[in-house]
Structure 1
């Protein structure tokens, strides 16, 4: 019995000694594992911040062309999203401004920095060099590394690109568009600028809303034409009925030509916004002309209230199901601003209102700058 007790005592002593020896080792291994997990978490969170910052920078750059404003936007995004209690540093040297294009569905976007003297690009690349190369590491391990030199210096990369787009212009050519922006349409009184004996079916009167629109669309097309990516445009117009006037094309002069044709023979009619959206969508999704890799965008303009045909809201599901972002513009105080704003919101876009030719052109320019951007790396 005494021998058994002695052996048991010896075993207990050996276990205690083993625990004393192993406990520090276990603690070291635990600390090492936690540090590794921490490094991975900081690296992942740094990528999230990089993505957010480059999106903000890209949006600001496309809208303003100002590189300093893009840098400030990136810094503000980083400040709103600290990593482990620290703000990821971003300096001008971390940003590259360039052109990012995609040629086919089978290819990704390819980023090329702007060369000396180049015009504005459509993409921003952010590489966290200031974070990776800081004199003192911004992030430190949670636990001591027992002499091992461990620094957390994540170098993350992200690219924001104003995407390749197919754009459908859906334009109101109803009778009220023959009047000036500051006139109240009257079916019994011709537009003030109309020549004596003028009637619908003749050239639209000077100073009309329609001609203001044509000038604004041409400016919009010019803005897209000067951008580095390759947008295609199509045109649908509507009054009591709607028509597909121009299929998706790289030739913006075709859009201008079709608008001029309406100007030369302005028939007028009611306002069927639903039919206009339907025609615009059919042109935008026509497989013979649409690019499967392009972002789909629609710009709808009206100067009045929907008053005939299918309702605009009946097209909401079809637009969303086809991946279309809808921007709406109302022109003149006669337009149904609330309804068009709700329609744009339902389809992921934005609403603009204009009361004169200058505001109308500004609305089209703002839309051109707001066209969708993508994370392409």
Structure 2
């Protein structure tokens, strides 16, 4: 008997042999590609780690430059500025450790623009310091050394050495002082009348004379800084006639100028007779906005208003509306309240609406200290 071959069985056997051959080929291919996959994974991990470390270094260096410039502004002390920069750097971690910055990595100098449209340029040294430059490093020569890579040995690279430079410069300000000349400024700091009456020259212990002293101290402090600060004076109360004189709601007593002589003269003139009227805080702010958006402003100067009042707003539109208008024009309003009668909540809201600060002075000494602090606190920005 003859047996014919089963063609179906032979075909099945051939297919099984091919499948086994393919499975074996895939294993070989995977074995060949595995080192490539590991290499790519190591590369991706280290690239991400390097980018994270660079970002951390930039953040730490920026913080150090800002802290140094701010301290230089407040203290006018180069040693204090360097110490502040070092401390700020150390508080920021880079690759798991606080950034150590030595004095040799901190430069104090002058930041300036050649024109209104040019970039800030930093020059180390000089007699009118207004900028701090910090060079943050994680290199072989730095205190903490270079940054080790997590899987760099796979690629034959074990470390990298990032460097970051940041410069923070104090900015010039255009400042408008807005002072309250309402009738309540004739009273004592703690409330109540003083000898002389409402139509006399303000008493030495009156709120107005305390303000006069604080404004003069403010101008003295501005003149002691290295920056070129323009300053103007606006006063407000309400319109009326009293004690044989007429008075307006708000006046621009002195336009923006680098020379503060007129402000001093106007404060002396206002102090030579009674101050009168109600308290139109919004009128003072509105006039301050006019000054800080007028022809005398500088394009890149920071616009700042300092609004002082001893009492309650009692005539004119709501001051918060004026503050919002100021904020739209890029003006920061700092408010100062003085005496037990002042509306702290309202004036705090006015300041916060513009990103400014509110201060309260319980006495004449505190009022002068606040004005000095505002004058000495120069705005700073990163310029590199």
TM class by smaller structure: 0.7 to 0.9
CA contact (8 A) 2:340 2:362 kept: yes
Runs of at least 5 residues in structure 1 that lack an aligned partner in the other structure: none
Any idea what SS the aligned residue of 2:93 has? coil
The structure that is strand-richer by fraction is: 2
Q: Cα gap change, 1:263/1:159 in structure 2, threshold over 3 Å: closer, same or farther? A: same
Q: Is residue 2:37 matched to residue 1:26? A: yes
1:156: how far off? 0.7
CA deviation profile, 1:293-320 (whole Å, cap 9, x unmatched): 2211110111222222222122121021
1:218: how far off? 2.1
Where do residues 117-196 of structure 1 align in structure 2 (5 Å cutoff)? 118=127, 121-129=129-137, 133-134=141-142, 137-146=145-154, 148-182=156-190, 184-186=191-193, 191-192=194-195, 194=196
Aligned with residue 245 of structure 1, among 228, 249, 253 = 253
Separation of aligned partners in 1, 2:328 and 2:114? 24
Any idea what SS the aligned residue of 1:171 has? strand
Aligned with residue 66 of structure 2, among 50, 55, 60 = 55
Any idea what SS the aligned residue of 1:264 has? coil
Aligned with residue 236 of structure 1, among 220, 223, 234 = 234
Q: In the alignment, what sits opposite 1:354?
A: 361
With normalisation by structure 2, the TM-score equals 0.84
Q: Cα gap change, 1:127/1:97 in structure 2, threshold over 3 Å: closer, same or farther? A: same
Any idea what SS the aligned residue of 1:211 has? helix
Q: Is residue 2:272 matched to residue 1:264? A: yes
Q: Cα gap change, 1:27/1:93 in structure 2, threshold over 3 Å: closer, same or farther? A: same
Q: In the alignment, what sits opposite 1:219?
A: 217
With normalisation by structure 1, the TM-score equals 0.86
CA deviation profile, 1:8-49 (whole Å, cap 9, x unmatched): 655554443333222112311321232123212211221122
Aligned with residue 118 of structure 2, among 96, 107, 118 = 107
Q: Cα gap change, 1:40/1:19 in structure 2, threshold over 3 Å: closer, same or farther? A: same
CA contact (8 A) 2:70 2:379 kept: no
Q: In the alignment, what sits opposite 1:44?
A: 55
Any idea what SS the aligned residue of 1:145 has? helix
Q: In the alignment, what sits opposite 2:342?
A: 335
Q: Cα gap change, 1:309/1:127 in structure 2, threshold over 3 Å: closer, same or farther? A: same
CA contact (8 A) 1:133 1:153 kept: no
Any idea what SS the aligned residue of 1:128 has? strand
Separation of aligned partners in 2, 1:358 and 1:20? 81
Q: Is residue 2:282 matched to residue 1:284? A: no
Separation of aligned partners in 2, 1:87 and 1:334? 48
Q: Cα gap change, 1:28/1:317 in structure 2, threshold over 3 Å: closer, same or farther? A: same
Q: Cα gap change, 1:91/1:171 in structure 2, threshold over 3 Å: closer, same or farther? A: same
Separation of aligned partners in 1, 2:313 and 2:85? 42
Runs of at least 5 residues in structure 2 that lack an aligned partner in the other structure: 1-10, 239-248
CA-based RMSD: 2.6
CA contact (8 A) 1:94 1:130 kept: no
Separation of aligned partners in 2, 1:89 and 1:352? 36
